Structures are given as C-alpha cells and as structure tokens.
Amino acid sequence: MNNNDFDLYKQFVKTTFKMRYKGSILGFFWVLLKPFFMFLILFMIFSRVSGSATGLTSQQYAVYLLSGLIVYTFFNEGMIWGMGSIMERAGLIVKINFKRAVVVASSLTMALINFSINLGIVISVALILNIHITFLGLVYILLICFTMFLALYGISFFTSIWLVHVRDLQHIMELVLQLLFYASAVFFPVEMIPEKFRFIVYYNPVARFIKAVREALIYGRITDIKFVLVALVTSIILVVIGSGYFNKHIKKIAEHF
C-alpha cells in the first residue's frame, strides 16, 4: 500500500465512521449500548444457570458473557461490513481509479475499532470486579484478534464480489450469523449442551476463539494455542488467495452495479 492508498484508506475510515452514525442522536455511543443491552438481558436470564454449570461467580460470569459478546460482535460486523464494502462504495469505484482492496480494509477497520473500544470496556469491568488480568493473557487476546481480522479480510475479498452478483447473499448471511450466534456458546457454557451435540461448538472456529479469549481474560490461561496458530496461517493463505480472486474479478464488477 503506497502513500496515496494509505491516505485514501484513512479518509475512507473517517468517512465511513461519520456516515454510519450520521443522523443518530446517540451517534458513536451505539457501539457501546448495543452489546451492553444485550449483556443485561442475557445476564439477567442466564447468570444463575450458566454460573452454576461452569462454577463461575457472578462477577466472573459477567466478564465471561461480555467477552463472548464482543468477540462475536466483531466477527458479525466484520462479515457484514466486509461483504457490503464494494456495494457501499460503488459510486466511487466507477468514477475513480484506486486500489479497490482499500475499500474492504477500511470497512473491516471500523469493526476492529469497535472491538478495541469494547475490549477496553470489558477489561475495565474485569478490573473493577477484581478479576486479575495478566499481560500474557492480553497479548494472546491481541493475537486472536489479529487472526480473526486476517480471516475476515480474506473472506471479504470473496463475499464483497459475490454480493454484487447475488444481492440475496446479504439476507442469507444475516440468517447464517444469527444461527452461528447460538452455535458459538456466547451466553451459555458448552457443558449445558448434550454431549452428542458438542461437536457443533468444537468445530466452530468462532466458538473456539471466544473460549480462548475467555480463558485468557478470566484465568490468564493460554489455551488452544495450536488451533490459533493454525488459524493464523490459514488466514494468511486465505488473504493471499482472496486477494488474487478479488483483483481478478473487481475489474469486471462495474457493469453489475
């Protein structure tokens, strides 16, 4: 990415930020309010049952639930915003010549910014609730976040092109993500799932990322490191392949807008 592309990337991030909350009374505070209200609802309903099943105190379950929500929200926003990035900038794409991958990167950066802010709040809550957070645990969480970002970036190279051809993909993706929310053990422990169905969570990458973040945040444990490293390598490969696919098809995309 040269200087011109980087300047354009920063401008896209700023513009996207302004457009996303334009006309909203609360504006950027929605980034904080949406997961917070979801947290309140789920905490009131499931704190006692889930806490008993996992042996967590109410304080630990609060962090357990919040961390699951922000990781899933990061994935959800990254998938939706990355997929819609080309359509969102269609007017500029047909008029101006620039590196189109900048559009995808800027959309995903918004999801990363939201996640970073929410993570800071979760860490603050954990400290207030006297949960000890280790430096190594935080580094591991950042590695997981970086891995997820790369995976979303690679996936968005494909989905952003597909959406231009198949507009129904957005509705399909929203349905899939809603199902994935329940299959990722965001608000309930895996122990509550009948053993014969636990493979659904075990083979769900989002659920394993969430579990690893929770272990690192609440207990300072580095778990599932092999999975995270394999996911990191896979994500890098996905970005390389996705970039090739994107650059090949983006040249013909204008006629479909």
Across 105-109, average pLDDT: 92
CA distance 61 to 188: 10
153-189: pLDDT as tens digits: 999 999 999 998 898 999 999 999 999 998 888 887 7
Q: Are 227 and 88 in contact (CB under 8 A)?
A: no
- What total of structural domains would you count in the chain? 1
What residue numbers bound the domain in which 62 lies?
3-256
DSSP per position, 11-48 = HHHHHHHHHHTTT-SSGGGHHHHHHHHHHHHHHHHHHH
CA distance 183 to 168: 23
Confidence of residue 3 (pLDDT cuts 50, 70, 90): low
Q: Which of the two residues, 27 and 135, has the higher pLDDT score?
A: 135
Q: Which of the two residues, 45 and 162, has the higher pLDDT score?
A: 162
- SS3 assignment, position 97: coil
Mutual angle of helices 135-165 and 169-182, in 10-degree steps: 150
Question: What backbone torsions phi and psi does residue 188 show, to the nearest 5 degrees?
Answer: -140, 150
Mean pLDDT score across all residues of the chain? 85
1 is written with which tokens?
């990415």
Report the number of secondary-structure helices (H) and strands (E) in the chain: 11, 0
Across 87-110, average pLDDT: 83
CA distance 190 to 201: 7
- SS3 assignment, position 217: helix
CA distance 206 to 182: 11
Q: Among candidates 38, 58, 37, which has minimal Cα distance to 47? A: 58
CA distance 37 to 197: 29
DSSP label of 146: H
Q: Tokens 């109410």 map to which residue?
A: 58
67-97: pLDDT as tens digits: 999 999 999 999 999 999 998 887 777 677 7
CA angle 85-246-236, nearest 5°?
A: 95
* pLDDT value for 254: 63
- SS3 assignment, position 107: helix
